[in-house]
Structure 1
């Protein structure tokens, strides 16, 4: 978040665009909370063998999430079940396992490879892990290091976030490109250069991405055909610049009107259908959001996501929905290949920016993801939910430490959230023998709705989206 506004403070201290020079308000708090979470990084390095017999996965310690060909000196091999082999990039996009993208934001980035490695070890036969890093958010060396440690990720995506240039189309905060972002992503200032598209591709190559993206400028719903033509012209140029062995995804950024309006949606889907040179789509959608971490319950938007997912499934296209959180998980029912989320509220949905004034020093809300509810609640509401009949305690590695300490750890709560969403994604695959992914999601949503309806929760904690989802399924 930029500092041009008076006392800017979204309701949960969202680092909206994950710009590193926007995090100064919360650094001290995170240094305190990480004292609890850092115990995971300080643990002894332990490894498990990989099924293919040619490597080991680090499951604890500072290198957790990384794969090595030989055991480091002094390390130990656990007796745990072996980890599955990493699938190739191309197989991950065409296989039957859903793709689970973990976004690297400005917070708790060091812990993400740990949870990604744990998910791969325990659920890697039911999901494919991917990693997304935003090019304008950090130095290239740091992003490259993240990709190298998160080597369980079959997909490595360096998002150029060129939509930051489109303030007149999207609802972005004032000055959406911070001073550091200009340095981290110099292509944002050279859009008039003849080789601009090449610059965008080279920036992704430079940090080790294995799935390249077209620039992904925002499509203007007020000039639909002109905007579509411009986006596909840039995409075709990028495709012509792709080198042998590279894979390119069509990257689009959409205000929600493109999916909620039938006329715009049909125009978009017709254009996508005609452009069969792109078999992988990476589509980010911006929608209005009243409360952080709350998924959309907009029936028209859900219908648009459904139609887009249906089209891609019918045409054999791989659809990735970055930055969609549990709404993206819902789209698995309709044909989406995968979806993405991260630690902060801004990585759970690409929400329209809305300025909220708050008190300086206001503490970050203590949120906990309830897997049985498919919903995030305040930590005080968790006590009510946990005492309800039929509640199943979370078995992730992070919850014991989270609830044993008097100081709430936002890092551990975030890792719990990421891990639980990975479990839910795996469950969609594991329960797909009856009715495919659609049947699996429908059953999970119906069960969550029935159980949640009996909980004594306040209005702000009720998972209202479940009714809209149930209807859409």
Structure 2
């Protein structure tokens, strides 16, 4: 299968320094080329059998990440290992394995099925994979091809991103709906049409999504009851439009005040409790901006996420937290079913837009995710701490090439990050036999805090979230 980079859309660029969430900036796609990462696409095609004997998983070559019914002629089979059966949509949502959602962004998306296939092969018995595409960011054909190759994804979600219509509620960049967004998602221009909800659903169906979303318009904390009533009315109308075999998630987009403020939080949770026709929630939370890849330390917000996750697990509902990064991973401790991230800063957190002056000629920072400390640091910090006693080198397939490549390969660093977060997700399940997920996450966070304490780190590389998280757990 030929690989294509998706059209760059706002908020999808890889920004390692700042919490970039631009919805308008365009970057030359020629900048995306990276010889070290592209070498992975030229790797020898190799397959492993699926456990039930019905098919093979490609673990090498341009089709890595896809499951095939029969081996292509001349292909190599690795018989010493096998891959688990890909879970069904419903089993993924009701099973005991955490769901790890990988966002298809505008950068390096052609490599993501490779990482997902690698994770499914090595960790698929301890996590379930899903994939998210953003409908206003590229042509439908690219998303259909992506879903086809990333066939280890049990959940396929096509996010309509209707929150782009709500720039009076959310803090979005100027002109959040650009010309290309209207071309790729024409329903964004017709939200007053009588058949608007059907248009939103049909756009998701067109790319073969298997978990449909309600529009997900932003809830207004300044007019809470009217906003809630409107969102749930639309959601009920969507349910009436579904067809046999389809499944719908209640899609909510909320400013952080809804969870950080006790009165708003209680109102939101009470309304969710009453909406028992929805057993899957897909909740995107916008919080204050920070440096990219930096988790939130807002204790009130963390408490709100905890209460939301607790409610869902108590009521037997599945909670998915897209675009939440490692903060979403933390929510696994409290009952969240799954969380999502991608390779860009904007896919690690849905933060409020903050105006920043452009810095022509600025070099992209060389950042590296340290799984042992649950934090992303500058490469120079990595070079120091890897010599500290007790440091555990990453064993992913991307790190050897990453540290051998000159110049630094941003795509390989991003693939390492996506893979390492998958390993952390699987570890929560693997260690949950001793006290459940909460205890597993607590042990991981406590261990990261102990190991990180006293490391020779610069100010920007200190994992300040760990003491807050440790206390919250």
- TM-score (normalizing by structure 1): 0.96
Aligned to 1:79: 79
Stretch moving more, 99-108 or 75-84: 75-84
Q: Please report how far the alpha carbon of residue 290 of structure 1 lies from its aligned counterpart in structure 2 after TM superposition.
A: 2.1
Q: CA deviation at 1:445?
A: 0.2
User: Which residue is 1:219 aligned to?
Assistant: 219
- Cα distance in 1 between the residues matched to 2:76 and 2:460: 47
Matched, 1:317 2:317: yes
Q: Find the aligned partners of 1:388 and 1:438 in 2 and give their Cα distance.
A: 29
1:304 matched to 2:307? The reply is no
Classify the secondary structure of the residue corresponding to 2:118. Answer: helix
Q: CA shift at 1:373, angstroms?
A: 0.4
Question: Could you tell me whether the CA contact under 8 Å between 1:13 and 1:364 is conserved in 2?
Answer: no
Deviates more, 1:449-458 or 1:72-81: 72-81
Distance 2:366 2:231 in 1: 40
* Alpha-carbon shift at residue 363 of structure 1 (Å): 2.0
Q: 2: CA distance between counterparts of 1:365 and 1:49?
A: 40
With 177-186 and 207-216 compared, the bigger mean Cα shift is at 177-186
Shift of 1:74: 1.5
Distance in 1 between residues matched to 2:14 and 2:68, nearest whole Å = 42
Deviation string 1:409-452 (CA, Å, 9 cap, x unpaired) is 11000000000000000000000011100000000000000010
Distance change (3 Å), C-alpha of 1:117 and 1:358: same
Q: Is the 8 A contact 2:15 2:364 kept in 1?
A: no
Q: Deviations over 1:360-403 (max 9, x none)?
A: 23222111000000000111111112111110000000000000
**Structure 2: gaps spanning 5 or more residues:** 1-7
Q: Provide the residue aligned with 1:54 in structure 2.
A: 54
Instruction: Kindly state the Cα deviation for residue 132 of structure 1 after the two structures are TM-superposed.
Output: 0.2
Whole-angstrom CA distance in 2 between matches of 1:370 and 1:289? 22
Q: Give 1:422's aligned residue.
A: 422
1:454-465 alignment runs, 5 A limit? 454-465=454-465
The equivalent of 2:3 in structure 1 is none
Provide Cα deviations, 1:255-299, integer angstroms capped at 9, x if missing partner.
000000000000000000000000000000000122111000100
Using the alignment, how far apart are the partners of 2:15 and 2:460 within structure 1? Answer: 17
Which of 16, 21, 25 does residue 16 from structure 1 map onto?
A: 21
User: Could you give the per-residue CA deviations for residues 295-316 of structure 1, whole angstroms, max 9, x where no partner exists?
Assistant: 0010000000000000000000
Q: CA deviation at 1:2?
A: 8.8
- Compute the displacement of 1:12 (Å): 3.6
* Alpha-carbon offset, residue 92 of structure 1: 0.3
- 2:369 is matched with 369
Match of 1:29 in 2: 31
Q: What is the alpha-carbon distance in structure 2 between the residues aligned to residue 279 and residue 290 of structure 1?
A: 32
Structure-2-length-normalised TM-score: 0.96
What is the alpha-carbon distance in structure 1 between the residues aligned to residue 265 and residue 49 of structure 2? 47
Change (3 A) 1:164 1:122: same
The residue that corresponds to 2:117 in the other structure is 117
CA contact (8 A) 1:310 1:334 kept: yes
Aligned equivalents of 1:224 and 1:213: distance in 2?
21
Q: Report the equivalent of 1:188.
A: 188
Report how many aligned residue pairs link the two structures. 464
Answer whether contact 1:10 1:358 (CA < 8 A) is retained.
no
Query: Which residue does the alignment assign to 2:249?
Result: 249
Q: Is the 8 A contact 1:9 1:359 kept in 2?
A: no
CA RMSD of aligned residues (A): 1.6
Which residue number corresponds to residue 287 of structure 1?
Answer: 287
Q: Give the 5 Å matches for 1:65-104.
A: 65-104=65-104
User: Which runs of no fewer than 5 residues in structure 1 stay unpaired?
Assistant: none
Counterpart-to-counterpart distance in 1, 2:231 and 2:408: 44
Per-residue CA deviation, residues 98-152 of structure 1 (Å, 9 max, x unaligned), is 0000000000000000000000000000000000000001000000000000000
User: C-alpha distance in 2, partners of 1:70/1:237?
Assistant: 42
1:217-240 deviation digits (Å, cap 9, x = unpaired): 000000000000010011000011
Instruction: Encode CA deviations 1:136-191: one digit per residue, 9 max, x unaligned.
Output: 01000000000000000000000000001110000100111121111000000000
> What SS class does the counterpart of residue 157 from structure 2 fall into?
strand
Q: Paired residue for 2:4? A: none
Q: Which residue of 1 aligns with 2:472?
A: 472
Query: Matched residues in 2 for 1:14 and 1:290: separation?
Result: 6
